[in-house]
Structure formats: C-alpha cells, structure tokens
C-alpha cells in the first residue's frame, strides 16, 4: 500500500510516478523502523536521510538540537541564505524547493581569492572560505557535508567570535577530523545544530537534511 504523506503532496518537482515511488519508499522506511523515539518534527529529517542513503544506521547516529527544526523553519520562511562548504550541496538542492521563500545558496569556497587566502592563513580552502564569509553567517543556515576543517572553523566562529547561524548542519564524512568536528559541534549546546556522530555523512546527507527542512517550511 502506498502511503500518502501530507508533507509530500503537491510537489511541483515530482511527476506522479516519481511521487508514488517516493511515498512507497517512505512507507517501507516507516514499516521497517517500527517504533522510534523521534519527535514528530524530527522524524521527517531522519526519514529523508535514511531515504537518501538507504542506511538505517543514521537513525542511531543523527543528533538534532531541540531548537534546530523550529529555528530552521523560521529562517527559511524569512528567506535566509544557505551557506554550503561544497558545490555538490549547492548543485543537489532542488530549485523548486528554494524558490518558494527565495532562499539563496552560497558556496564561499568557489569565490575568487579564497585559494590564496587559504595558503596565506595555512588553512584549508573550505575553512578559509567560512572565515572570510563570517559576515554572511549570522541568521543563515550553514551546511557542511564534506570538510571537517570547515566545521571546526564554524565552531570556532561560534565560540570565539559569537556568530549565531540559525542552524548549523554539520555532517562531514571521512577519517581525519570528521568525528572530532561533529562532536565539537554537538558540544555547542547553545547553537541549534543537526549532526551525525561518527564517520558517516557527506554532502548527500546535508542535502537530504536541507530538503527535509524546506519541505517542513512549506507544510
């Protein structure tokens, strides 16, 4: 039986056949996960990540700050920009989801001069890009899916410079500083965040989380 989810009706980016497959996928996820501890406002985020990755392990690893969803929804509805560490996240975000509230997507790492700034500062390109874009981050949604160094720089900007994004999505994947950067973000209890503890993550996970939040803002 195909489940009809009110969050996923009237989706201009999906043709009926695609919508039916998506809803059937959600029904399978609901059935296989069974009972769970996620609040109603968190579950669409978790479910979207599982749907994107095909990996139920994310249900145990994901961490969602109590204010993450309401802050993100309010920011999205207010037209907040989305700042990403990679072009992959920017390319993966659906234009029809973004256009409802006019949410601009920025990737500072591709701006001219960032490479030289990173060399001069002894930082990675992604970390230097965030440092140089600090004026864009307050009130924004920051999505880090690839670069642990960018997430560590974001944590530093929060702790040392008092920046306050509406939400930080920190899900870098990998073996060097990935675990540590996500633990550092989750330790910033005053900052609304969504992360995935451990080595798993990646830009597709960041895209899934942003898509879930954009859908929640439309609901």
For the whole model, what pTM was predicted?
Answer: 0.91
Determine whether 51 is an active site residue.
yes
Beta bridge mates, 143:
84, 169
Beta strand segments in the chain, E: 62-64, 82-84, 105-106, 141-144, 167-170, 193-196
Distance between CA atoms of residues 195 and 143, nearest Å: 10
- The secondary structure element, H or E, covering residue 139 is none
Per-residue pLDDT of the chain (219 residues; tens, 9 = 90+): 333 444 444 556 667 787 888 888 889 999 999 889 999 999 999 999 999 999 999 999 999 999 999 999 999 999 999 999 999 999 999 999 999 999 999 999 998 999 999 999 999 999 999 999 999 999 999 999 999 999 999 999 999 999 999 999 999 999 999 999 999 999 999 999 999 999 999 999 999 999 999 999 998
Domains of the chain, first to last: 61-218 (3.40.50.10230)
190-203: b (≥16 Cβ within 10 Å) or e? ebbbbbbbeebbbb
Pairing mode, strands 82-84 and 62-64: unpaired
- Which pLDDT belongs to residue 2? 34
- Which pLDDT belongs to residue 1? 31
Catalytic residue, from 8, 37, 51, 211: name it.
Answer: 51
- Which pLDDT belongs to residue 41? 95
């Amino acid at each position: 039986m195909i489940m009809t989810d009110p969050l996923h009706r009237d989706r201009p980016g999906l043709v009926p056949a695609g919508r039916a497959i998506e809803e059937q996928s959600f029904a399978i996820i609901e059935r296989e996960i069974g009972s769970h501890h996620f609040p109603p406002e968190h579950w669409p985020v978790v479910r979207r990540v599982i749907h994107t990755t095909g990996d139920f392990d994310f249900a145990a690893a994901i961490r969602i700050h109590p204010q993450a969803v309401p802050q993100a929804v309010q920011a999205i509805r207010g037209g907040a920009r989305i700042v990403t560490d990679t072009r992959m996240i920017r390319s993966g975000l659906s234009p029809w989801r973004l256009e409802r509230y006019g949410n601009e997507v920025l990737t500072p790492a591709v701006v001219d001069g960032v490479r030289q700034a990173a060399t001069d500062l002894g930082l990675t390109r992604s970390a230097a890009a965030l440092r140089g874009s600090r004026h864009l981050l307050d009130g924004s949604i920051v999505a880090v899916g690839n670069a642990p160094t960018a997430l560590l720089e974001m944590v530093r900007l929060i702790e040392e410079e008092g920046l306050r994004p509406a939400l930080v999505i920190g899900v870098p994947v990998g073996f060097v500083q990935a675990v540590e950067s996500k633990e550092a973000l989750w330790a910033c209890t005053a900052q609304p965040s969504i992360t995935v503890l451990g080595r798993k993550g990646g830009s597709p996970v960041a895209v899934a989380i942003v898509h879930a939040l954009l859908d929640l803002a439309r609901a």
